[in-house]
Chains A and B, each alone.
Chain A
Amino acid sequence: MRRLFDLSFRHKIPLWGAALIIFSSLTIGAALMTRAYDDMKDAVVISAGNLGQTLANTVAPFLLHEDVWRAFEIVRSPIRGESAATPVQVEAVAVLTRDGRIFVSSDPDALPMLTDVRQLGDDWRLLMARLADPDSPSAPVVLEPDGSGYLYVTLPITDNDAHLGHLVLRYAKSVFLPWFRDTAMSGLAIGLLVLAVLLPINWYWGMRMARPLVELAERMGKMPATLPDKLEPDLYAYRDELGQLFLAYNRMVQALREKAALEGEMVKSERLAAIGRLAAGIAHEINNPLAGLVTVVDTLKQRRDLDARVLRNLDLIERGLLQIRDTVAALLVQAKVQARELSRNDLDDVHTLIEPQARKRRIALEWVVDMPDALPVPASVVRQVLINLLLNAVQAAAEGGHVSLRLACDSASDARHPGRLSIVVCNDGAQLTDDQLAHLFEPFNSGREGGHGLGLWVTWQIVTQLNGRIVAGNHAGEVRFSVCLPVGDVACSTALP
């Protein structure tokens, strides 16, 4: 039983529905059958009363005069042949004398005349007991003995108040049965028809109810481990409690996803910021002794008394120190605020710089620039961002591929909505993997042969210091870098030293 209740709604709703429908059909059917049987019995009793009264009145004088044959003709008159099998068809008629003997009957074989009916079986003994009962009414006595195949209706035969005997009408229930069976069969046919209509509807309705619930339950079950998908909106498009539950679920999933995304971004930003701080700290620690070392080497080189071998070594040391200084300088990006604004000429310069690189790799360069002649953003760092991103794109694009730049800006409308410069650089090279995306902007993380892995790091540093945002991602078969920079007199971020 417990297993029955543990079943999935997918089975439980249709099963319970079907059980209820079948139970209801059977109950109603049984009630109607009982009613039909009672109605039929009433019809038999009424018909028997009328027939019996007529027969009793007609047969009375012949009973009085002991005219057996005339009485026989009378009691036999309502008996029909086999063909007339209606429920109200009397099976046998008997005239009983006062002492309970058969004066005449319509069926002399089964009910021979002169026989004491009490010898004819329990039915008749019961009937005689009922007739002998002084309390029994003089109106028709209806007797339906248990376990008997017959229904008996008995009327007194009287002549001028003299009681002559009884007229017994016997109805065979076996005649009821085919009639009753016909009624039952037609009832059953209608019942099956109703079931044939209701059961599929119930099944469909059950599935309709259960499928969304099942999917919801499955998704909720995965919940702590993974973040499940949203439910399709056409799965259950109604606004009842179930529909409201789905909406709430979808809202919850949406909120969880946003939270997860935000957390991911924050972790990434935190990491990059930490790396930046670490890099800057190291750079400072290195720069101070490095400046002294470079000065020492320079001073040493001024001396005349050095032999050629020492000089060669000094040159080696100097080149090494300068390389360290360049590397540290690259790590320690400083988006210094400069007075010069970005002009169209800067864009043309960038184009001039990139174009030969692109041509070398037979890359189509798409150049869409929509900006005023001058824009209040620091020109040199924006140029560096553009060059970094475009060179990266040209390197990443396939041979004979495609690189595009879309630069647009919307000017400031008021103080609360400062203008924005939007730079989008796309290439049709290999898509970035999740792992690449996670560590894209970290230093010394080149995904490419020959790269030192500082280009994107520098770009990220510049954009972040300008209070902008940079996002990389795969979009419609392209790798896209989007930069968004505030326009105008924006204070530079002090997050970085």
Chain B
Amino acid sequence: MSKVFKGGLPNSNRRLCLAGAAALVVGGMAGSRLALAGSASRLWRVGMTPAFLHDQHALLAEWRNFMSDGLQHPVEFVQRDSYRETMDLLRLEKLDFAWICDYPYLHLKDEVRLLAVPLYQGRPYYRSYLIVRRDNAYASSIADLAGSVFAYADPYSNTGYLVPRYEVRRLGHDPKSFFRKTFFTWSHRKVVEAVASGLAQGGAVDSFVWDSLEHVAPALTARTRVVWRSPEFGFPPFVSHRSVTDEDFRSMQRHLLGMQTSAPGRDLLMRLRLDGFIAGSPALYDSVTRMMRAFGEK
């Protein structure tokens, strides 16, 4: 799973959208770093989630080394297979930073700060794809999947859970009874596998993951077909726990935002299929908040 991201990205790193930089949340949280006080060289723990292809271990190891070197600070990546576990770790202050989906970010808005937003195809947005099996010729929207078996990615995934349910609701159906059966695969990649294998007739998947998979495992995505593309949502962000000091926050943010300025950093970004990072703004995620409200959350 190592050498995967190949080829250059168009409009790559120069076109950074720095518009959101001013909106940086600068929440001073003095005194809440009791647990971290007194150890300058204490390990920073960065949570990695299935928001991207987090099972490319060689790539992650390289990224961690690059990050440690850039920050002049030891870094550890913590991988969890479900958003829930990463969220719990954040709540329990077991993580300092995390790359999480936008939906968990909004859930944890009181505990975390938006650190940086990755740029995908030059913009900090992604979508939800509704996929069916390649040989399913008739389905053209989620309405055609009524009464079928449907694969969700994760109960805290925006594109893999919130979006399809919102769409069903928008069509005037109850997501609880619209499908004959639903299940979680706990990863976007596995949603693709579930649909490709025929276990589920439809699934909702992160566009960034599906597009990446199209390069990494074209045989897998070739067995599926994207039926419907959702509107854009803010890309899964990097967040820091509010207990992280401003200094550390800025240090990490500087590191991420400056990744495309160095050759190794550009190489890593290319392999991650990203163009860079911007500071971003919570307003990017307003549309997700609206959907959450539709389901009575927050």
CB-CB contacts of A46-81 with B at 8 A, as 1s and 0s?
Answer: 000000000000000000001111001000100000
Q: Is B8 an interface residue (CB 8 A)?
A: no
Of B149, B194, B198, which contacts A114 at CB under 8 A?
A: B149
Summed over the interface, the residue pairs from A and B with CB atoms below 8 Å come to a total of: 31
A113, B181: Cβ atoms closer than 8 Å: yes
A104, B199: Cβ atoms closer than 8 Å: yes
A114, B180: Cβ atoms closer than 8 Å: yes
Q: Is A477 an interface residue (CB 8 A)?
A: no
B198, A109: Cβ atoms closer than 8 Å: yes
Q: Which of B184-192, B245-253, B282-290 forms contacts with chain A?
A: B184-192
What is the CA–CA distance of A16 and B149 in the complex, to the nearest angstrom? 69
B186 cross-chain contacts in A, Cβ below 8 A:
69
Give, as a whole number of angstroms, the nearest-CB distance from A307 to chain B.
Answer: 160
A114 cross-chain contacts in B, Cβ below 8 A:
149, 180-181
A109 cross-chain contacts in B, Cβ below 8 A:
198
Chain B residues bordering chain A, tally (CB within 8 A): 13
Given A108-B198, A108-B199, A113-B199: A67 in contact with B180 (beta carbons within 8 A): no
Q: Is B197 an interface residue (CB 8 A)?
A: yes
A69, B198: Cβ atoms closer than 8 Å: no
Q: Is B166 an interface residue (CB 8 A)?
A: no
What is the CA–CA distance of A496 and B194 in the complex, to the nearest angstrom? 133
Give, as a whole number of angstroms, the nearest-CB distance from A61 to chain B.
Answer: 15
Give, as a whole number of angstroms, the nearest-CB distance from A193 to chain B.
Answer: 47
A108 cross-chain contacts in B, Cβ below 8 A:
197-199
What is the CA–CA distance of A224 and B199 in the complex, to the nearest angstrom? 95
What is the CA–CA distance of A69 and B150 in the complex, to the nearest angstrom? 11
What is the CA–CA distance of A68 and B199 in the complex, to the nearest angstrom? 9
- Chain A residue nearest to B149 in the complex (CB): A113
A69, B183: Cβ atoms closer than 8 Å: yes
A67, B181: Cβ atoms closer than 8 Å: no
What is the CA–CA distance of A113 and B194 in the complex, to the nearest angstrom? 12
Give, as a whole number of angstroms, the nearest-CB distance from B76 to chain A.
Answer: 27
A68, B198: Cβ atoms closer than 8 Å: no
A67 cross-chain contacts in B, Cβ below 8 A:
183-184
What is the CA–CA distance of A108 and B135 in the complex, to the nearest angstrom? 14
B197 cross-chain contacts in A, Cβ below 8 A:
72, 76, 108
B181, A69: Cβ atoms closer than 8 Å: no
Question: 4 closest Cβ contacts across the A-B interface?
Answer: A68-B183, A108-B198, A69-B185, A108-B199
Which residues from chain A sit less than 8 Å from chain B, CB to CB? 66-69, 72, 76, 104, 108-109, 112-114
A-B pairs with beta carbons under 8 Å apart, 25 shown: A66-B183, A67-B183, A67-B184, A68-B181, A68-B183, A68-B199, A69-B151, A69-B183, A69-B184, A69-B190, A69-B194, A72-B194, A72-B197, A72-B199, A76-B197, A108-B197, A108-B198, A108-B199, A109-B198, A112-B149, A112-B198, A113-B149, A113-B199, A114-B149, A114-B180
Given contacts A67-B184, A112-B149, A114-B180, 4 further A-B contacts (CB under 8 A): A68-B199, A72-B199, A112-B198, A113-B181
